[in-house]
Amino acid sequence: MELRHLLYFKTVATELHFGKAAEKLHISQPPLTKQIQDLEAELDFKLFTRNNRSVVLTPAGQAFLIEVNQILQQLDRAIDIGRKTSRGELGKISIGFVGSATYNILPVMLQQFRDRYPHVQIELHELTTDRQLIWLREGRIDLGSIRPPIVDRNFVTQVVFQESFVVALPTNHYLAALDEIDLVLLATEPFILFPRELAPGLYDPIISVCQTAGFSPQVVQECIQMQTIVSLVSANMGVSILPASIQEAQRQGVVYKPIRSQSLSVDRLAKIALVWRIDDRSPIVNRFLEVVLGTERLP
């Protein structure tokens, strides 16, 4: 039994006329009649009672038609799912992100993609940049949202967001009343920063702007999470320099101040970049990049 036999049977059962059914199927009537006879022989029961004037489904034919309709509907659904999946319109995408991306670009990217492809399941994992690269290599995530730079020929990166830095001070700090901070005033202050091995994309620009101001910061505490840094600043453990979008997360006991005369050169901005495997051919990854970057994956 082949799929065409079921299609032939359904058409005849719908039309209850071999001539009309043959016309609808774009075949002649004798081959259609032969196909139905072959199907009945294989099934070992009659599907139709027919004479010169009428074609009627047998009770067995009526029961068979119900099941055939369900099979064909399931087949149509399977074809539709396959097509949508091949186009990246259905399935799952797993995305890693640094926590600070939730203050700026990540919600925008996710909303844009959800609006365009509402049937794709999005799985999110908050990870440091180095952990995202490990998970990408292992295939545990499809895309990462990281702090660049990274040097690995197995990956492609594209900056999607960049911003300046601000100084985070305890509210009772003697500099908290100033409208902006000249970094030289922080030369003797204890600093709370990210570890360089986990976040060189933040650590290096911060060190750079401080050195331009004539000093190297006295780092007394390193923290992986930006919120932890903010919490320690609020506890008077030190000061910090953080990406400006941290101001979206209000925290009692902390004030944020712009840096006076801060250079806006590219190497002194906090950046968020998308990263993906260079050999990834996933249609869903393509669709995500198309939505976020305005184009498909970069070469």
Residue pLDDT, tens place only, 245-294: 999 878 899 999 999 875 545 567 899 999 999 999 899 999 999 999 98
Same domain, 205 and 114: no
Residue 142 has pLDDT above 90, yes or no: yes
Burial class (CB in 10 A: 0-12, 13-18, 19+), 143: buried
Same domain, 150 and 31: no
129 domain-assigned: yes
Same domain, 220 and 244: yes
Residue pLDDT, tens place only, 23-37: 999 999 999 999 999
Q: What is the pLDDT of residue 264?
A: 46
Band of the pLDDT at 89, cuts 50, 70, 90? confident
Between 263 and 44, the more confident residue is 44
Same domain, 39 and 116: no
Give me the numbers of helices (H) and strands (E) for the chain, helices first please.
9, 12
229 domain-assigned: yes
Share of the chain above pLDDT 90, in %: 80
Q: Is the dihedral of CA 134, 279, 83, 111 positive or negative?
A: positive
Same domain, 141 and 156: yes
Count up the domains in the chain and report the number. 3
Q: What is the pLDDT of residue 268?
A: 76
Q: Are 251 and 170 in contact (CB under 8 A)?
A: no
Find the mean pLDDT for residues 208-237: 94
Residue 299 has pLDDT above 50, yes or no: no
Three-class secondary structure of residue 277 per DSSP: strand
Same domain, 175 and 149: no
Residue pLDDT, tens place only, 149-172: 898 999 999 999 999 999 999 999
Between 265 and 238, the more confident residue is 238
Q: Which domain holds residue 9?
A: 3-86
Same domain, 178 and 248: yes
Q: Is the pTM of this model over 0.85?
A: no
DSSP 8-class letter at 13: H
Last residue of a domain, one of 86, 102, 136: 86
